[in-house]
Amino acid sequence: MKKKRIAPGTRLPVTLTDSELKDIRECVMLGSEFGREAMVEGKRSRLYLSLDEIEDIQGHVAAEANHTPDKKLRQRLDRLFEGLQEFLDRYDDQD
């Protein structure tokens, strides 16, 4: 699939479930402030993130998934990783 070109720094809408946001805040150690600016839509939150931010979060998610002894947490983080990967597969902001 051909990637859609976007301007560097373009912020894309990333929708996370409450549990995904909780995992990012608590398990991935990005801090409790992560996602505070998100628009809450029921049990989901929409954040606007650049590809660089998505890639950074994805790296933290992967590291935690690879080091946790908790199988259920690892599975949740793996799903989150894959969801974030969809943005990196779909868009390109490089010149």
**Count of structural domains, the chain:** 1
Residues 72-83, mean pLDDT to the nearest whole number = 96
Distance CA 80, CA 62 (A): 9
pTM: 0.89
Q: Phi then psi for 27, rounded to 5 degrees?
A: -85, -35
At how many degrees (to 10) do helices 18-26 and 71-90 cross?
100
Give the pLDDT of residue 27: 76
- Residue ranges in 12-70 assigned as alpha helix (H): 18-26, 51-67
Domain containing 58: what range?
4-92
pLDDT at 1 over 90: no
**Tens digits of per-residue pLDDT, 39-54?**
998 889 999 999 999 9
